[in-house]
Every structure is written in C-alpha cells, then in structure tokens.
Structure 1
Amino acid sequence: MDDNIFRSFYDPYVYKTLTSVIGSSVTVQTTQGSVRGTLTNVLPDHIVVEMNNTPFFIRTQQIVWVFPS
C-alpha cells in the first residue's frame, strides 16, 4: 500500500442535507467547539460558515451536529 495516498470520507446524506440550507444561519458543533454564522458553501470534505465577514472552514469529519437557526 502506498503511504502517500490521501483518503477522504464523506457522508452523502449530510452533504445533501447541508446543501439544502446554504445561505441560512446555522450553529455547527464540532469536536473542538461551536461556530455560529451563515453557511456559505458545502463541499464533500468541508463546509464554510461565515461569521462577521470571516470564513470558517470546517472539516465535515469534525462536525458533531448542525442546527439551522
């Protein structure tokens, strides 16, 4: 096995659900704490939540839950 292979896993259900709330205010609980802001982008491996004009790039694997507010 090649040790230089990058593997990324994503949950297609989480991805599809999050894409349905793009542009909405959300609270995202991660393994490191929570972020509250506007969900501006969703990709298979991360999401972007903007808070006070600052983008936060959150790895999907680190998300515990998301609450649309």
Structure 2
Amino acid sequence: MYHQNYYAQYGKVSHEPFNPSQVQTISSIDPYVVEALCKLAGCFVLLETTRGGIEGTIIDVKPDHVLLQLHNRQACVRIAEIVWTMPL
C-alpha cells in the first residue's frame, strides 16, 4: 500500500505489488578519491565526513569504502560520505 501511495504522490501510479528484487542500487565511484586514498594506505589520516571527522590508519581501500584502524577497533567509511582527507 505504501508503494502505491508513494508513487501516487509523485504522479507515478503503480498498481503492481512492490518487488524488492527489482530494486537497483546505484553508486557512483570517484576514481580520483580512491586513487588518493590508496596512496595514503598505511598512513594516519583525518577523514572529514558528512557526520564529522574520523582519525585512523588506512588499512584497505575499495571502490566504495575505506577501512580504518581506530586504536583497538576498525571502521568502514563509505567514500561517498568523505568530504576531504588530510594526512596527519
């Protein structure tokens, strides 16, 4: 029911039931940011994200996220959420 109301609100009426298998995730990859983060692998950095700053050592970089070592734990940060980076 929510599916129909949502699309009706935006002028697109669908009478078919919602099928989660038809949902596509679209993610943009910024190759320049990925390349810059790869060059900083092993370095202690500050990543400023849309939710605040995170300091840690870059362990690994993938096309959509970076893995940071934060003292005794690890954090996975989506690259799409990174505003800027700075080596410390």
TM-score (norm 2): 0.73
Write the letter of the residue equivalent to 1:55. Q
Residue of 43, 60, 68 corresponding to 1:49: 68
Q: Which runs of 5 or more structure 2 residues have no equivalent in the other structure?
A: 1-20
Higher helix share: 2
d(CA) in 1 for partners of 2:86 and 2:67?
15
Spell out, residue by residue over 1:28-65, the C-alpha distance to the aligned partner (whole angstroms, 9 max, x if none).
00000111010111111010111112111110010010
Q: Supply the distance in 2 between the matched residues of 1:16 and 1:53 (Cα, whole angstroms).
A: 26
Partner secondary structure for residue 61 of structure 1: helix
The within-5 A match list for 1:1-69 is 3-69=22-88
| RMSD of aligned alpha carbons | 1.3
Whose RCO is larger (CA < 8 A, sep 6+)? 1
Amino-acid identity (%): 34
Q: Which amino acid aligns with 2:41?
A: I
Mark the runs of 5 or more structure 1 residues left unpaired by the alignment: none
Q: Distance in 2 between matches of 1:10 and 1:68?
A: 22
Aligned residues: 68
The TM-score normalised by the length of structure 1 is 0.91
Greater fraction of residues in strand:
1
